[in-house]
Amino acid sequence: SDLKVAVLGVGMMGSYHATTLSSLVRGATVTVVNDFSAERAAEVAAATGARVVDDPFAAIADPDVDAVVIATPGAAHEAQVLACLDRGIPVLCEKPLTTSIDTAYAVVKAEAALGRSLIQVGFMRRFDAEYAALRELIAKGGLGDPLLVHCTHRNPDVPPHFNSEMMIRDSVVHEVDVIRFLLDEEITSVQVTRGRPTPSAPEGVSDPMMVTFTTEGGRIATDEIFVRTGVAYEVRTEVVGSQGSAFIGLDQNMLVKSTDGRWGGSITPGFVERFGQAYVTELQRWVAAATEGTIDGPGAWDGYAAVAVCEAGVEAVLTGETVAVQMGPRP
């Protein structure tokens, strides 16, 4: 029988997950939805056939729930993830795992004490076919020694409150996970250069910025973060190794040549067009694993590492210094 899933927080991401689970993913039924807004919860419940439970902890404890998707605001994650651990059920938590290094480490330790992998963090790029292929290529030595990773992360626009700190915590966090995923090692320092802002950036917000990371193995990674391009959703990565380089993020866009001797094509307008399939794969694999009482993807340690690197990144934005990443030992 189907895995019974509760979705906590049905804003943009949570409702997307709820709809994907109930329409495109095999083996799952969304039985319970919960949201801060009763009206919003009722809408998504009606669309997915789920029941509304007003309290998130009651939703986690509901007998009709085998596994949980958390898409509430970041500040709510810690207590909700811990409640899932207490009940011993698998949870897919959207980034960030928690909002501080200490609480994220406490979650890692709580899961380790339990001796089971129950927490998956929603870094869905790992499920994108191109990122997965790029990791494979690197792992089998196809580029020799990978020396550099260059990332580009552009959004067409964001709301006015999206400041430089959010550009690190909400946007660059994806490249933080991608870099760790591709190189299979930890990031050790972060430096941020705040460039001349685009005219549409609010006062005091540096958009674009250039982020430079170094890793345990002395490798360098860069990320151009530019969230108000006015153009499209452009996410690209190039890895340069001692024996070649590989580039992803353009191929999937159709290249059109026309009879007037011109070429052109479309650029993915949003995250759904760019990463929609990755979300479906992420959820499909999570449902299969959760049915067996486990996870299949980035775990609590990856969530903790991302929090630690972003914390250093925010300090780097504010101070202009190169900031060392502080991480405790892996339990």
Interacting residues with ligand ISE (CB under 6 A): 155, 170-171, 174, 227, 271
Q: How far is the CB of 166 from ligand ISE (least distance, A)?
A: 7
Angstrom CA distances, 329 to 98, 115, 272, 305, stand at: 18, 17, 36, 11
Residue closer to ligand ISE (CB basis): 52 or 227 = 227
Q: Which is nearer to ligand ISE, 31 or 155 (CB)?
A: 155
Smallest separation, CB 46 to ligand ISE (Å): 26
Of 62 and 177, CB closest to ligand ISE? 177
Which is nearer to ligand ISE, 73 or 244 (by Cβ)?
73
Give the nearer residue to ligand ISE in terms of CB position, either 165 or 170: 170
- Minimal distance, residue 153 CB to ligand ISE, in Å: 6
Measured at CB, which residue is nearest to ligand ISE? 171
Closer Cβ to ligand ISE, 20 or 171, answer by number: 171
Write down the least CB distance from residue 191 to ligand ISE, Å: 20
The answer to whether the beta carbons of residues 232 and 156 sit under 8 Å apart is: yes
Minimum CB separation from ligand ISE for residue 309, in Å? 16
Minimal distance, residue 205 CB to ligand ISE, in Å: 14
